[in-house]
Amino acid sequence: MRRKCAAIFFAAASVLVVGCSFAKAPPDPAKSAGAADGKEVSAPAVTEVPVISISDDRPAYPVAQEDEPDEPEYPPGYYDEIVIDASWEYADHAQIDDDTARLYRASSDRKDIIISVNAGHGTKGGQSVKTYCHPDKSPKTTGGSTPAGSVKAPAVTGGMTFNDGTREATVTLACAEYLKDALLEEGYDVLMLRYDDDAQLDNVARTVMSNNIADCMISLHWDGDGLTYDKGCFYISVPEKLKSMQPVASYWQEHDALGEALIDALRDNGYKISGAGHMSIDLTQMSYSTIPSVDIELGNGASAHDDTTLQGLAQAIAEGTDEYERNRK
């Protein structure tokens, strides 16, 4: 409130001046005496508790100070660099973890809720390094890019390629940037796990960072199914066999709730949904997540991925995230 008070002046012959209205802090006689000599009159704040000054030949009534600053706490574009802390749970399972993530802060309508946004793939060398599929080192329960029964999987796979030759990692990053902007606009802070072509953070590191910094985690992907038609969007749900393994047992229902919220928003915005909107796959991300966490597949190699499409998808995901957070227990 200091800045707001400093912007308030008193007319020379005035008998009444409305001062700072949300008076909570102790009065500051020195500041108000100086204010009485001022010339300028600026727009007063909303008045709940008017403060009155009698005239300019006697000290003005002390102008109290508000608690809240007038200027944004974080200017637009503000972010902090985040590094992994080796003491965090499961951090010792990460093999590629020496890069930073960026924690962007909303500059207005702040909700003090952090959404972790993961642009899938985009780790040079990630394919040739292995990490445990599960924190307890148990084998993978379903097949996929790594066969069922495997204890370890590539730290970060290379990702699919669209039918027009565009790499998935390029598209997930572009969509993540749009999602970041949409969430910041809504007042959410955003942890960008990858903000350029190469994040030296593997899937375990990205998940562990999210667990310790964010309130929920959303990973963006497109499915490499080889189809020649766009099959639509779906999220990856947790396989039945994994629901008794910790930390999955404690969180899988919230993972599903977040996934459903995103699918509902995509459907409401006119995007094609694949089948029931989910497919169960044993993924590293959900195996290590201790916050609501989802991997959403926004289509496949035949899907449109121009800027307008990506921006629309991001806007729908932001709406779904907002719906989830508003109804979250």
Q: Which residues bind Zn ion (CB under 5 A)?
A: 120, 159, 221
- Rounded to a whole number of angstroms, the minimum distance from the CB of residue 221 to Zn ion is 3
Instruction: Assess whether the previous peptide bond of 247 is cis (omega < 30° from 0).
Output: yes
Note whether 3 and 34 are within 8 A (CB).
Answer: no
Q: Which of 156, 143, 180, 130 is nearest to 282 (CA)?
A: 143
Strands (E), the chain: 79-82, 101-104, 114-119, 130-132, 152-154, 189-192, 216-223, 233-237, 273-280, 293-300
| Cα 78 from Cα 257, distance rounded (Å) | 30
Alpha helices for 236-304 (secondary structure H): 248-268, 284-288
With respect to Zn ion, which residue has the nearer C-beta, 136 or 197?
Answer: 197
How long is the chain?
329
Specify the DSSP class assigned to residue 37: T
Query: What six digits make up the tokens of 68?
Result: 């809240």
- Rounded to a whole number of angstroms, the minimum distance from the CB of residue 102 to Zn ion is 21
| Cα 120 from Cα 118, distance rounded (Å) | 6
Q: Which residues pair with 117 in a beta bridge?
A: 192, 218
With respect to Zn ion, which residue has the nearer C-beta, 154 or 159?
Answer: 159
Q: Which residue's Cβ has the minimum distance to Zn ion?
A: 221
With respect to Zn ion, which residue has the nearer C-beta, 53 or 123?
Answer: 123
With respect to Zn ion, which residue has the nearer C-beta, 4 or 121?
Answer: 121
With respect to Zn ion, which residue has the nearer C-beta, 220 or 265?
Answer: 220
- How far is Cα of residue 313 from the mean position of the Cα atoms in its chain? 16
Note whether 119 and 175 are within 8 A (CB).
Answer: yes
- Rounded to a whole number of angstroms, the minimum distance from the CB of residue 195 to Zn ion is 17
With respect to Zn ion, which residue has the nearer C-beta, 123 or 321?
Answer: 123
- Rounded to a whole number of angstroms, the minimum distance from the CB of residue 150 to Zn ion is 18
- Rounded to a whole number of angstroms, the minimum distance from the CB of residue 145 to Zn ion is 9
- Rounded to a whole number of angstroms, the minimum distance from the CB of residue 297 to Zn ion is 7
- Rounded to a whole number of angstroms, the minimum distance from the CB of residue 152 to Zn ion is 19
- Rounded to a whole number of angstroms, the minimum distance from the CB of residue 259 to Zn ion is 15
Secondary element (H or E) of residue 6: helix 2-6
Residues 6+ away with beta carbon under 8 Å from 253: none
Note whether 175 and 314 are within 8 A (CB).
Answer: yes
With respect to Zn ion, which residue has the nearer C-beta, 53 or 219?
Answer: 219
With respect to Zn ion, which residue has the nearer C-beta, 65 or 284?
Answer: 284
